[in-house]
Amino acid sequence: MEIVRNPETIRRRYPYPVLTLGNYDGVHLGHQKIYGRVIERAREKSGTAVIFTFEPHPLMVLSPSTCPPLLNTFRRKMELFESFGIDVVICADFTREFAATPPADFVKQILVDQVGVKEIFVGYDFAFGRGKQGTTDALQSLGETYGFTVTVVPAHALKGEVVSTTRLRELVREGEVEKMAEMLGRFYASEGTVVPGDHRGKSLGFPTANLLVHNQTFPKRGVYAVQVETGGRRLDGVASIGTHPTFGEGKMTIEVHIFDFDADIYGQFVRVLYLKRLRDELTYDSKESLIRQIHKDVEKAKRVLREQGRSETPHEKIP
């Protein structure tokens, strides 16, 4: 997959570009429905499946105080786009100057002149350009002027509920990772770098990897059955998100105990996939009662992983 970080640097014509636009933080089933239409149409025309997106999130520039915490990192989005079969991602640097571009100018100067767009697929709630003046009706009108077609893809519902990034942000705050997995078509994940901790897990008999998280949001405090992707492998484990109330600390951390694993992964990139929330964060009256609970958490996590068909192959290669 080709990634273009500045649309003005495009110097070649893509074969029959079929394009969608959006920030696409959630990359959920509704978004995937749009990508699928783009890819299907591009293949039919022997063309190019294109996503046009923005970095950073527009609200980070226009109204940082109202920008919601993001679900995915740029790296994760690119990996997912490629896995779906997207050919080209054009990522505009979102600035106040870019935001001030009138919708008609953006379409003519970038989508038509630079990209050579032939067809556009957008979601039902899509808006673009200065002040979000670019409605789907405006985009269709511009398509008639410049010779491209516009298809509006309806909302995707799951069990009677519309799948949306806003709803996913609510679910992650609630720790509803199983429902998130249904709406994402994959397990929700935190990713980051393993950093030194206080080594308390090791003293309790359960060494942990402490994660410096790159995501802006992660699930509600508690204990989760997880899978950990690191070094080309997917490992089984249990994760604790919280503030160590038993020890009176207060600093939020994500710590992961990986089963049957003792390699040094300090400084390495890892991804933690949340399968199931096991319990709330609790405070214990003694170190011994905490250790007993951790044993229970590990056994429960292993049961969950067995039910998922994962713990039979704890060191599975990442596909």
Q: How far apart are CA 230 and CA 236, in angstroms?
A: 11
What is the CATH T-level fold of the domain 187-317, as seen in this structure? Elongation Factor Tu (Ef-tu); domain 3 (2.40.30)
Q: Are 201 and 239 in contact (CB under 8 A)?
A: no
Q: How far apart are CA 130 and CA 134, in angstroms?
A: 8
Pick the range with the lowest mean pLDDT from 85-99, 104-118, 186-200. Answer: 186-200
Mean pLDDT of the chain: 89
Q: What is the pLDDT of residues 2-14, one digit of tens each?
A: 999 988 888 889 9
- Please give the pLDDT value at position 135: 87
Whether 2-158 and 187-317 share one fold: the answer is no
CA torsion sign for 111, 16, 58, 163 is positive
Report residue 276 as tokens. Answer: 């199931």
Q: What is the pLDDT of residues 254-291, one digit of tens each?
A: 999 999 998 889 999 999 999 999 999 887 767 788 88
Tell me which range, 46-50, 57-61, 136-140, is most confidently predicted by mean pLDDT: 46-50
Is the pLDDT at 83 greater than 50, yes or no? yes
The CATH superfamily assigned to 2-158 is HUPs (3.40.50.620)
The pair phi, psi for residue 207, each rounded to 5°, is -60, 140
Map residue 232 onto helix, strand or coil: coil
Q: Give domain limits for the chain.
A: 2-158, 187-317
Map residue 284 onto helix, strand or coil: coil
Q: How far apart are CA 211 and CA 109, in angstroms?
A: 43
In the chain, the N- to C-terminal Cα span, in Å, equals 17
Residue with tokens 């068909």: 309
- Contacts of residue 90, Cβ cutoff 8 Å, sequence gap at least 6: 4, 7, 10, 50, 51, 52, 53, 115
Name the packing angle between helices 177-184 and 165-174 (round to 10°).
160
Q: How far apart are CA 19 and CA 120, in angstroms?
A: 5
Report residue 5 as tokens. Answer: 């970080």
CB atoms within 10 A of CB 66: 8
Is the pLDDT at 217 greater than 70, yes or no? yes
Is the pLDDT at 319 greater than 60, yes or no? no
Q: How far apart are CA 74 and CA 57, in angstroms?
A: 10
Q: How far apart are CA 178 and CA 197, in angstroms?
A: 29
Report residue 81 as tokens. Answer: 């786009």
- Please give the pLDDT value at position 202: 56
Of residues 257 and 218, more confidently modeled:
257
User: What is the mean pLDDT of the segment spanning 163-186?
Assistant: 96
Considering only the C-alpha atoms of the chain, give the largest distance between any 2 of them, rounded to a whole number of Å. Answer: 73
Closest by alpha carbon to 216, among 25, 67, 70?
A: 70
